[in-house]
Structure 1
Amino acid sequence: MASVHKLFRAPKKRLPMEELQEAQMLTDFGLKGCSHGQPGGNRQVLLVDRESLEAMQLQPGMLRENITTDGLNVNGLAAGQRLRIGEARLEVAMVCTPCSQVERIRPGLRKELWGRRGMLCRVLEGGIIRAGDPIEKLP
């Protein structure tokens, strides 16, 4: 079963991500205390799967994702797919396109990440999520 491997938030833009054991998801915003949260937007939460990170020899959090998943093919999710993660419900909004910032991690990474950068989601219903929580695809 798919689950939350790691949780992260950005306390301020461009600063290192903080790893969390639990986080409060806020409806139509994102993670409480995360500088990337934004009301009304499609870029509230970024999901990246552990398997893609390992294939590219990257550590969780390096791509500035909020949730690193385990056992879920994040890049195979379709826009509109709804997910239950802990107490929260998310809706996949769009593909996260690799930007030039990832070149700071490793030259050539932007090209390597194409199609594997993860999916951006909206928070439909807030709640607590924790590392280890199951991730369920909803109809």
Structure 2
Amino acid sequence: MGRVLSVNISEKKGTIKTAISEGNFLESYGLINDAHSGSWHRQVSLLAIESINKMKQISLSSNNSTFGLFAENLTTEGIVLYELPIGTKLTIGETIMEVTQIGKECHQGCEIKNLIGSCIMPHEGIFAKVIKGGYIKPGDNIKII
């Protein structure tokens, strides 16, 4: 079992996200008001703090904020996300999500890569679609079902 450390949102793709106190995730859509939401397979992005900490050791100063830094909607801990098979279902807070993609290609002009010099999301981030909507907040449990 894992847990949510932070729920993060941004208005534009490829930008650092801002932590919010709670997110409303709609079925077949994603996080309301987030740039990645929509009718596609990458509605929600997840990245583990363990992956972020690896990246911080390599290239980041300790002054940088951690949550949302790699444009992840959910910063998690306790589950090796990138080892989950595609199709894995997770209960996160009130929601149920299905893993749809492991990693991604970084796009040109990515603010994160420009600011930090590298990005862990293409290797260890995952994406999911919302099967059952609901609210997610920091501290919520994540269970593999």
Check whether the contact 2:14–2:71 (CA below 8 A) recurs between aligned residues: no
- Alpha-carbon distance in structure 1 between the residues aligned to 2:70 and 2:96: 22
Q: Give the 5 Å matches for 1:1-139.
A: 1-13=1-13, 16-39=16-39, 41-57=40-56, 59-100=66-107, 101=110, 102-107=112-117, 109-110=118-119, 115-116=123-124, 118-138=125-145
Q: TM-score, normalised by structure 1?
A: 0.87
- Alpha-carbon distance in structure 2 between the residues aligned to 1:135 and 1:30: 17
CA 1:114/1:85 → structure 2, altered by over 3 Å: closer, same or farther?
closer
Instruction: Give the percent of matched residue pairs that are identical in Structure 1 and Structure 2.
Output: 30
- Alpha-carbon distance in structure 2 between the residues aligned to 1:44 and 1:114: 16
Runs of 5+ consecutive residues of structure 1 not aligned to the other structure:
none
Q: TM-score, normalised by structure 2?
A: 0.84
Runs of 5+ consecutive residues of structure 2 not aligned to the other structure:
61-65
SS across alignment from 2:42 = coil
- Alpha-carbon distance in structure 2 between the residues aligned to 1:29 and 1:114: 22
- Alpha-carbon distance in structure 2 between the residues aligned to 1:119 and 1:46: 6
Aligned length: 134
- Alpha-carbon distance in structure 2 between the residues aligned to 1:114 and 1:46: 11
> Cα RMSD between the aligned structures?
1.8
Check whether the contact 1:11–1:18 (CA below 8 A) recurs between aligned residues: no
CA 1:115/1:17 → structure 2, altered by over 3 Å: closer, same or farther?
closer
Using the TM superposition, give the Cα deviation of residue 133 of structure 1 relative to its aligned residue in structure 2, in angstroms: 0.2
